[in-house]
Amino acid sequence: MNKKRIVLECTYCHTMTELRDFSGACPACGEVIVEARYDFNHFDVQTWLAQLPQRGRSLWRYHEVLPLYNTDHIVSLGEGQTPLIKADALGASLGLKHLYIKDERQGPTGSFKDRQATVAISALKEMDVNEVVVASTGNVAIAYAAYGARAGIKLWAFFPSLTPNDKMREAALYGAEIIKTTGNYDQTKVLAAQFAQTKGVFLDRGIKSVAAIEAMKTMAYEIGEQLAQALGGGTPWRAPDWFIQGVSGGMGPIGVGKGFREMYDFGLIDAMPALGIIQSSGCAPMVEAFERKQRVATPVEDPRTIIATLATGNPGRAYELLYDYTEQYGGHFASASDEEAFNAIRILARNEGLSVEPATGVTFAGLFKLVRMGVIRPDDVVVVNCSGHTMPVEKTILGEQWQKLVDLSNVAPAPKVPTEHLVSALEKVDLGDSPHKKRVVVIEDNEAAARLISRIIQSRPEVEVRLAYNGAAGIDLIRAWTPHLVITDLMMPGVDGFTVIETMKNTQELHDIPIVVITAKELTVRERDQLYSQVDMLLQKGTFIDEEFVTSLLSKL
Ligand SMILES: *Cc1c(COP(=O)(O)O)cnc(C)c1O
Ligand SMILES: [Zn+2]
């Protein structure tokens, strides 16, 4: 253990410094992003692989490749080893066969910053630091505050003006000193640095980049192990074709990229993933530079997004590192608006049962775009970093009418409440089942896709949906129920979509019902022409069906 050597390599000038002697920046050029290198003389990959299954379920099972000299200094809350969840419903609607969600919401403080906190706070404990200053948009401070509390390290947390109060309260609960500024994140970082210098308190800056990159790297190791279990393959572990994340400072994908690179060098995987880097369109310096094919980003001075977590206006050299990675191994930068992010949050909650914070909504909105653009292909193995939990649920997402109130104030107090009064109170609640509902039939043989479409449409109170899993059942249902709208797939066993449409057009009572076709089939020119004359809308699968789509559909009825 004491033989372990950890050397930090400057990402700019490649000067090496022993971790022990590191002061927060490269001694030669002042660069703050440095990468840890380990001396692997005493490290045998085969022995390590054989031991892993017996090791504990925290990210410290990879301690040989983490920047800590002595494992006695570990400060842990059981972070890491989060599930890799297969997203079938969302995958079906996007036309993706292998969509996986790395559920980082399940960390001790609800975001993937727990990884960074366990590594950083353990390293600080090893360095005998007992007070630390950090600037944060929220989640880093919450995680540092929790781990700091366990280690007896006092935290001074500086927040930009956009940070939601609930996040600051959470950090305060763990005993951190909370300083809220009226400025943006970049200004807050400068203020925190000045405060640290004046007060002579340790500034988590250099250690932050080392800890962040090394900690985020453990996500790659876990994905490698988990994907091998899920998919198998010719190598001990397996890399996805894509790793997708909503990005602010960029430490997540930089770390994950480094992790896969190490696994590649160990011979554990034989290919590197492409990176899908998503930013909030109100603060997207990386995306803007990428679109101009520039290796250096122009800082955004005045971020215009309410998603504080992603509001780093000046990504600095982190962007160059990510740009270089995508040049070498592939990848794409894309942005999504706040509104698209909130819409994605709803889709994810209703179809996969995952409630995520707005920054993660940006990630999924970006994924939808990359699929629509054809950058991500149907057969690609895709892993999405589900980076943080929504707690509490943002008001903007649910809107006004999310609960139904049963007013009991006019009813006599318990225990004398006659049941019939309660029942009549209940009757006043609008449960939405008026006889004026619009009836929609969905015919689709892929059950996951059928359920997804129906759930999205049924989220509108004025609609009632019924499903048929093949053409024959679909025709029966249409005859019996005369819907206002029919949504059908084309390729189905037995009676296909063409026959359903033909039958409707040849039946007088069904002739005028609008038809929407959703298909993955490559259509011939003739099929396309025929369909255009018969149907109201023709959609390729992979076109994302969201509430906007439903609104436009309903406007046709
Ligand atoms: C920090 C954070 C991000 C952005 O992470 P970086 O890799 O540092 O850009 C995204 N989502 C959540 C929930 C975060 O806390
Ligand atoms: Zn340097």
Ligand nearest to the CA of 362: 1
Residue that has been written with the tokens 């971790």 in this structure: 19
**321 in Cβ contact with 33 (< 8 Å):** yes
User: Three-state SS for 28?
Assistant: coil
Ligand nearest to the CA of 138: 1
Distance of CA 12 from the midpoint of ligand 2 (Å): 5
Is 239 part of a structural domain of the chain?
no
Whose alpha carbon is nearest atom 13 of ligand 1?
Answer: 388
Distance of CA 35 from the midpoint of ligand 2 (Å): 11
Tell me, what CATH number does 483's domain have?
A: 3.40.50.2300
Is 4 part of a structural domain of the chain?
yes
Within 13 Å and on the Cβ side, how many CA atoms surround 507? Answer: 14
Is 513 part of a structural domain of the chain?
yes
Torsions phi, psi of 204, nearest 5?
-75, 90
Task: Specify the DSSP class assigned to residue 470.
Answer: S
Helices (H), 200-293: 206-231, 251-266, 285-291
Nearest ligand 1 atom to the CA of 252 is 7
Q: Please report the pLDDT score of residue 463 as a whole number.
A: 83
Q: Please report the pLDDT score of residue 531 as a whole number.
A: 84
Is 539 part of a structural domain of the chain?
yes
The radius of gyration of the chain from alpha carbons, rounded to an integer in Å, stands at 27
Query: What pTM did the predictor assign?
Result: 0.79
Ligand nearest to the CA of 141: 1
What is the 3-class SS of 523-545, one letter each residue? CCHHHHHHHHHHCCEEEEECECC
Whether 111 is in the pocket of ligand 1, judged by its Cβ within 6 Å, is yes
Cα–Cα distance measured from residue 412 to residue 410, given in angstroms and rounded to the nearest whole number:
7
Is 483 part of a structural domain of the chain?
yes
Pocket test for ligand 1, best of 79, 115, 309, 390 (most atoms within 8 A of CB): 309
Is 456 part of a structural domain of the chain?
yes
Distance of CA 319 from the midpoint of ligand 1 (Å): 14
User: How many domains does the chain fold into?
Assistant: 2
285 preceded by cis ω (within 30°)? no
**490 in Cβ contact with 498 (< 8 Å):** yes
Residue 491 structural domain: 438-554
Tens place of pLDDT per residue across the chain (557 aa): 447 889 999 999 999 999 988 888 899 999 989 999 998 776 788 898 899 989 988 999 999 999 999 999 999 999 999 999 999 989 988 889 999 999 999 999 999 999 999 999 999 999 999 999 999 999 999 999 999 999 999 999 999 988 888 889 999 999 999 999 888 888 898 899 889 888 888 887 656 789 999 999 999 999 999 999 999 878 899 999 999 999 999 999 999 999 999 999 999 999 999 999 999 999 999 999 999 999 999 999 989 998 989 999 999 999 999 999 999 999 999 999 999 999 999 999 988 999 999 999 999 999 999 999 999 999 999 999 999 998 655 566 666 666 666 666 665 454 444 555 555 655 555 545 556 788 999 999 888 778 777 877 777 777 888 999 999 999 999 999 999 899 999 989 889 999 999 999 999 999 989 898 888 777 888 888 888 888 887 776 655 566 666 666 766 66
Helices (H), 459-521: 471-481, 497-505
Is 360 part of a structural domain of the chain?
no
Pocket test for ligand 1, best of 32, 119, 139 (most atoms within 8 A of CB): 139
C-alpha distances (whole Å) from 523 to each of 171, 342, 526, 528 are: 56, 34, 8, 6
Is 371 part of a structural domain of the chain?
no
Distance of CA 66 from the midpoint of ligand 2 (Å): 21
Ligand nearest to the CA of 279: 1
For residue 6, the tally of other CB atoms under 10 A from its CB is 20
Q: What is the DSSP string of 296-339?
A: SPPPPSS---S-GGG--S--THHHHHHHHHHHHH-EEEEEE-HH
Nearest ligand 1 atom to the CA of 388 is 13
Whether 246 is in the pocket of ligand 1, judged by its Cβ within 6 Å, is yes
Strands (E), 11-130: 16-18, 34-38, 84-86, 98-103
Cα–Cα distance measured from residue 156 to residue 179, given in angstroms and rounded to the nearest whole number:
7
